[in-house]
Amino acid sequence: MSNLPPFDLVIFDCDGVLVDSEPLSCRAFEQVYANHGMALPEGIVASGIGMKQADIMRMIEDRTGHRLPDGADSHFWPETKLLFAEQLQPTKGIADFLQPLSQKRCVASSSQPERIAFSLKKTGIDHYFGEAVYSSSMVKRGKPAPDLFLFAAEKMGVDPARCVVIEDSPFGVEGAVAAGMTAFGYTGGGHTYEGHAEKLASKGARQVFGDWDDIAREILVAA
């Protein structure tokens, strides 16, 4: 029997948690820079997983000096959408996890609403969330600030202390903890790396899981 407190709301990150999108997203990001004659160092885009697109661009500029021309950021989604349409898959076991979930659930993602909607529909899990989908474009500050998680909890009518956030990125875990929520780390996506679980734990993830069956045993029993 779990000794975790009950959760009334399960908040899911989208990219890398619900859908196995991060390797595809990184390829698209790198391609846009390459199209403008800028080769990015290996791993630099991946180091920004969980951040808003604009924040990743600033991080790249700070670390490499590469700055895209004005308006070139509009190329990211078309490039990404092509890859998603061909290759995007849900994370393994997510539908089986969502189907019996009795608690309220929502999505809180750093991606733009159009991308979130496309990802959920493409992978066949959109009906599990309905309108309960929130983007960092709806708040002032993206992850690791707590704004998006607090916004989602308010919209869903749930006390932050009774929310659990499932995140694959250190920035997301940090934001969830700052919001006063329980954070679970998830390392089941295709972008996981050596030390991933330890990094999530270091940011405050209460537990870190590599598959949905293990998370189900915690959340469903804790309900």
Is residue 223 very low, low, confident or very high in pLDDT (cuts 50, 70, 90)? very low
DSSP for residue 155? H
DSSP annotation of 90: B
Q: Is the pLDDT of residue 4 over 90?
A: no
Note the pLDDT of residue 43: 87
Question: Mind listing the pLDDT tens digit for each residue in 172-220?
Answer: 999 999 999 999 999 999 899 899 999 999 999 999 999 999 999 888 6
How many beta carbons lie within 10 A of that of residue 126, not counting itself?
17
Contacts of residue 45, Cβ cutoff 8 Å, sequence gap at least 6: 25, 26, 29, 30, 56, 60
Across the chain, mean pLDDT equals: 93
Give pLDDT tens digits for 23-78: 998 999 999 999 999 999 988 988 888 788 888 999 999 999 999 999 999 999 99
